[in-house]
Amino acid sequence: MQTLRLGSRGQDVRILQQALALHVDGIFGPVTEEAVKFFQTRKSLVADGIVGPNTWAVLDIGQSRRTISKIILHCTATPEGRDFSVEQVRQWHLARGFSDIGYHYLVGRDGTIYAGRPESVVGAHCTGQNTCSIGVSYVGGEEADGSHRPKDTRTHAQKKALRELVASLQKKYPGATVHCHNEFANKACPSFKLCDL
């Protein structure tokens, strides 16, 4: 296997991405680099994001299970009262260079829970936390007037669905802690406090 790093492409990158339970596109981008660093840290290797002989030697090519330690809550940062589909959010994320929608779940205004990325695939929703987390977003999070001011716009149905989804994920991933995106990034997302979940 060749040494891989940010910008590498090809079949070896696909093999690496499969082993790390990433979206397999053969392009060693920032999400792949983050996953490599996380893996290297867990294996007590130098966490430089470069896949050389030492990393290849401990990489289980058959590995496909992620270790989930966090559930991270988001909003779509869209105006109150406006509906957006999972496909629209996917298109926004593709336009930003993502390989798919960044979230694992999206909760519509009517409380419907839509699947995004498969849970087995690393998300693209919270820099530095994607490898070990499940990303959950609700539609909304901003004032209706287009000012982009943060606001908790969750409908009663969204609040109920979010609570149920998070409880279900915590049963599936015992020990996983729940966080708001703003704990890891300088932004208002998800426009509510965790205590208000």
Q: In what order do the strands lie in the sheet with 70-75?
A: 113-115, 105-107, 133-138, 70-75, 177-180
Low-confidence winner among 18-27, 63-72, 163-172 (lowest mean pLDDT): 63-72
Mean pLDDT confidence for 53-65: 70
**Chain position carrying tokens 């009517």:** 110
Rounded to whole angstroms, the Cα distance separating 90 from 103 reads 9
From the list 104, 167, 160, the residue with the least C-alpha distance to 136 is 104
- Domain boundaries of the chain, sorted by first residue: 11-58, 70-196
pLDDT higher than threshold 60 for residue 64? no
Catalytic residue among 23, 93, 103, 132: 103
Backbone angles phi, psi at 178, to 5 degrees: -105, 135
State the pLDDT at residue 58: 82
114 labelled catalytic: no
Given this model, what pLDDT does residue 57 score? Answer: 75
- pTM of the predicted protein model: 0.73
Residue 70 β-bridge partners: 133, 177
Continuous segment of H or E residues that includes residue 157: helix 156-172
Residue among 74, 93, 104, 125 flagged as catalytic: 74
Is residue 103 part of the annotated active site? The answer reads yes
**Mean pLDDT, range 180-192, rounded to an integer:** 97
Could you please report the per-residue DSSP string of 91-138?
Answer: HHHHHTT-SS-S-SEEE-TTS-EEE-S-TTS--SSSTTTGGGEEEEEE
Is 187 considered catalytic here? yes
Least confident of 17-21, 26-30, 141-145, 173-177: 17-21
Residues 158-171 pLDDT 10s = 999 999 999 989 99
Please, which pLDDT band fits residue 59 given cuts at 50, 70 and 90? confident
* pLDDT tier at 42, thresholds 50, 70, 90: confident
Spatial separation of the C-alpha atoms in residues 183 and 194, rounded to whole Å: 10
CATH topology of domain 70-196: Lysozyme-like (3.40.80)
The residue from 104, 125, 151, 181 that is catalytic is 181
